[in-house]
A and B are shown apart, each in its own frame.
Chain A
């Protein structure tokens, strides 16, 4: 029997996709700031939070995307 959302991709797939895209954009911004530091520096700028935080986002997004690439929504 076909359920109303048969074939619908899992929400976790979209969560992974979004984390991956946004994480990558932040990582790029972090690299730009690392190579060419901005004039106005934020507090703790030396720890480069954009780089390590975006890597965490990319890793989380990758896990969501990979583990739910073929799953339906209701699982």
Chain B
């Protein structure tokens, strides 16, 4: 494809973004005086700030490109990632889990595992999370450089180093606060920078109904073809969507992944923390109006020989990620191109900052202070957080170069989440809601769940078993195998944790007050009107979710 060329004003817009984020990091440094400011943004954020950051930490450019491409490939089924694959979990986090997280004053998810279970479970999760974060961060950096090189013709090394150094500079200066500020700026850039693609696409084709009429009927539904995997593009049944994506992967990610949950910890009080994921759920539900619409517009245009629109072919293989950049080239004149490119850059860099700010917290509290230096002072921990930021960026760059020489590492990226997050959700669920779950049950259950996921991944990769052995249906796509692998990992962890807990030593009930439902007094804030309560917003969110699923059934 012809690369997107930037004019003077486009470059000026890109430079403005870099100037704003670096300036913000410098401005916020004067307010970063202690470790709580650095790692938890001073716990002063409103639910709007924390909520938009919560959403944006997950809203990377790779996801925008990938999900638009996936919509081209699979159709409306991709909306499941935004609706059933996110909303119930976000609401569950806000209503049921956040009171335990926030009220126990923990600084990280592994910190909860230490209080609820023991040190070894905390360190196991801390190390696996830190490794996952660095790996994902490095792969993201590599992918960013690859995208910028492919679509903009930018030099691989320059774009990677420029963005990594910028992120290192502003996160080192002011930690989570600068990461949150830039995530909110990214949120607005993405909406203003990319929603226009959908608007112009609709203007060109005529209407949303016209777009739907131009694509295959099976690509325009959400559930009605999910009874038979051969009838939908994703080759999956409704059971795989509900159990694998809607339950395990979604709850595993949104309720236990510290990268997103850390934003809620920065809220100024418990009600704001509970509202954080609930407010974010409304914006999450709206994202398909950028991503899914763009994918469907690209699909409709590609089926019209007069449109002159076709995805990039590389060696006979379709590059689905090219859908969104091609639409930008098609519709955006000078100035808007700069905005579109800046939106993608912001997505990449904010994702990088999110990974690094989560890594520096888990490293500092759950590995360094927990294992290496138990007597570290607050000042020392603040210094360590800044050092961990720089080291984390350097390791990410190293991982990016490794990924460059070993591109198949990208295949592991989706799988990594089901190695770490899927079993952890079983541990958290049992830990928060069943008081007699024991430290040894949690530890060995987690090991068993993670092991199951890894073994199943390699068993399919090296063809020891077929995908259909995991998905219990045929045909089965790689995506379907991902969903089902997460389900089996969760189930093994869940069952093992219960079985081992039946025969191992329990923690006394009095040590679990504030950590487990049933042993913790429930606090009701009667002075707050009903419409400001998290439960009310959650019900409204749930109703909208049901309506969207019915409309696109």
Q: Is B339 an interface residue, CB under 8 A from the partner? A: yes
A71 to B352: give the CA distance in the assembly, Å: 29
B200 near A49: Cβ-Cβ < 8 Å: yes
Q: Which residues of B contact A45 (CB under 8 A)?
A: 333
CB distance from B385 to the nearest CB of A (A): 16
A55 to chain B, nearest CB (A): 12
Structural contact, A44 and B44, CB atoms closer than 8 A:
no
Residue pair B20, A14 in contact (C-beta under 8 Å): yes
Instruction: Tell whether B67 is near chain A: CB-to-CB under 8 Å.
Output: no
Interface residue total, chain A, C-beta cutoff 8 A = 38
Report the separation of the CA atoms of residues A4 and B33 in the bound assembly, to the nearest whole angstrom: 8
Q: Which of B68-76, B90-98, B181-189, B357-365 contacts A (4 or more CB under 8 A)?
A: B181-189
Q: Judge if B196 is at the interface, Cβ distance under 8 Å.
A: yes
Q: Which residues of A contact B185 (CB under 8 A)?
A: 14-15, 18
* Contact present for B13 and A11 (CB under 8 Å): no
Determine which residue in A4, A32, A60 has the highest number of CB atoms from chain B within 10 A of its CB, and name it: A4
Q: Residue B335 contacts which of A5, A29, A60, A74 (CB distance < 8 angstroms)?
A: A29
Asked whether B7 is an interface residue with its Cβ less than 8 Å from the other chain, the reply is: yes
In chain A, positions 23-75 with a C-beta closer than 8 Å to chain B are 25-30, 32-33, 38, 42-45, 47, 49-50, 53-54, 56-57, 60, 73-75
A15-B46 Cα distance, complex, nearest whole Å: 16
Number of interface residues of B (CB under 8 A): 45
Task: Say what secondary structure dominates the interface of chain A.
Answer: helix
* Min CB gap B153→A, angstroms: 17
Bound-state Cα–Cα, A65 to B350, Å: 23
8 Å CB contacts to A: which residues of B3-39?
7, 9-10, 12-13, 16-17, 20, 24, 27-28, 31, 33-34, 36-37
Are A15 and B331 within 8 A (Cβ)? no
Chain B residues numbered 317-350 whose CB sits less than 8 Å from any CB in chain A: 329-336, 338-339, 342
**B7 surroundings in chain A (CB, below 8 A):** 29
Is B16 a contact of A5 with CB atoms below 8 Å?
no
Set A8, A42, A47, A57: member contacting B192, Cβ < 8 A: A57
A50 to B334, CA, bound (A): 8
Q: Which residues of B contact A4 (CB under 8 A)?
A: 31, 33-34, 36-37, 42, 44
Is B44 a contact of A11 with CB atoms below 8 Å? no
Inside 8 A of A11's CB, which chain B residues have their CB?
49, 180-181, 184
* Contact pick for A74, options B44, B330, B342, CB 8 Å: B44
Q: Give Cα A38 to B339, complex, Å.
A: 18
Within 8 A of A (CB), among B153-205: 177, 180-181, 184-185, 188-189, 192, 196, 200, 203-204
Q: Which of chain B's residues have a CB closer than 8 A to the CB of A14?
A: 20, 24, 181, 185
Taking CB as reference atom, which chain A residue is nearest B309? A43
Closest beta carbon of chain A to B294's beta carbon, Å: 14
How far is it, in angstroms, between the C-alpha of A47 and the C-alpha of B196 when the chains are bound?
13
Contact residues in B for A53 (Cβ distance below 8 Å): 192, 196, 336
Pairwise interchain contact B268-A28, C-beta atoms closer than 8 A: no
Q: Does B9 lie within 8 Å of A3, measured CB to CB?
A: no
**Distance to closest chain B CB from A13 (angstroms):** 11
Q: What residue in chain A is nearest B336 (Cβ atoms)? A: A50
A71 to B430, CA, bound (A): 43
Alpha-carbon distance A18/B184, docked complex (angstroms): 11
Q: Of all chain B residues, which has the CB nearest A27? A: B335
A contact residues around B329 at 8 Å (CB): 42
A62 to chain B, nearest CB (A): 14
Chain B residues near A73: list those with CB within 8 A.
Answer: 44-45, 49
Given the interface contacts A14-B185, A15-B184, A43-B200, does A3 sit within 8 Å of B44 by beta carbon? yes
Known A-B contacts A15-B188, A25-B9; the reply to A30 vs B20 at CB < 8 A is no
Known: A14-B20, A26-B336, A42-B331. A8 touches B203 (CB 8 A): no
Knowing A44-B200, A49-B196 touch, does A25 contact B45 (C-beta < 8 A)?
no
- Please name the residue on chain A nearest to B37 by beta carbon: A4
* 9 extra interface residue pairs, beta carbon distance < 8 Å, beyond A22-B339, A25-B9, A29-B336: A4-B42, A5-B177, A14-B20, A14-B24, A17-B20, A18-B17, A29-B7, A43-B331, A73-B44
The 9 tightest CB contacts between A and B, nearest first, are: A29-B335, A26-B335, A29-B9, A4-B42, A74-B44, A29-B334, A50-B335, A5-B31, A42-B333
Supply 12 A–B pairs (Cβ within 8 Å), ascending by A: A8-B28, A8-B31, A18-B16, A18-B185, A22-B339, A30-B335, A32-B9, A38-B334, A49-B196, A49-B332, A53-B192, A73-B49
